[in-house]
Amino acid sequence: MTTAIYPGSFDPITNGHLDIIIRASKLFDKLVIGVYDRPDKPLLFTTEERANLVRKSVTDLPNVEVRIFSGLTVNFAREMKAQTIVRGLRMSADFEREFDLAMMNKKLSPDVEIICFMSDLQYQFLSSSLLKEAARLGGEITNMVPKHVAEALRKKVGNQCKN
Q: Name the CA radius of gyration of the chain, rounded.
A: 16
Active site residue 92: no
CA angle, corner 135, sides to 158 and 145, nearest 5?
A: 115
Contact 13, 146 (CB under 8 A): yes
Count of C-beta atoms within a 10 Å radius of residue 161: 9
Known active-site residue 17: yes
57 is catalytic: no
Q: How far apart are CA 98 and CA 101, in angstroms?
A: 5
Residues in the chain, total: 163
Which residue among the candidates 90, 106, 136, 154 is catalytic per the annotation? Answer: 90
Q: Which of 17, 50, 87, 132 is catalytic?
A: 17
Is residue 78 annotated as part of the catalytic site, yes or no?
Answer: no
Coil, helix or strand for 33?
strand
In three-state secondary structure terms, 69 is: strand
Interhelix angle 47-57/147-162, nearest 10 degrees: 150
Q: Which residues are catalytic?
A: 17, 41, 90, 128
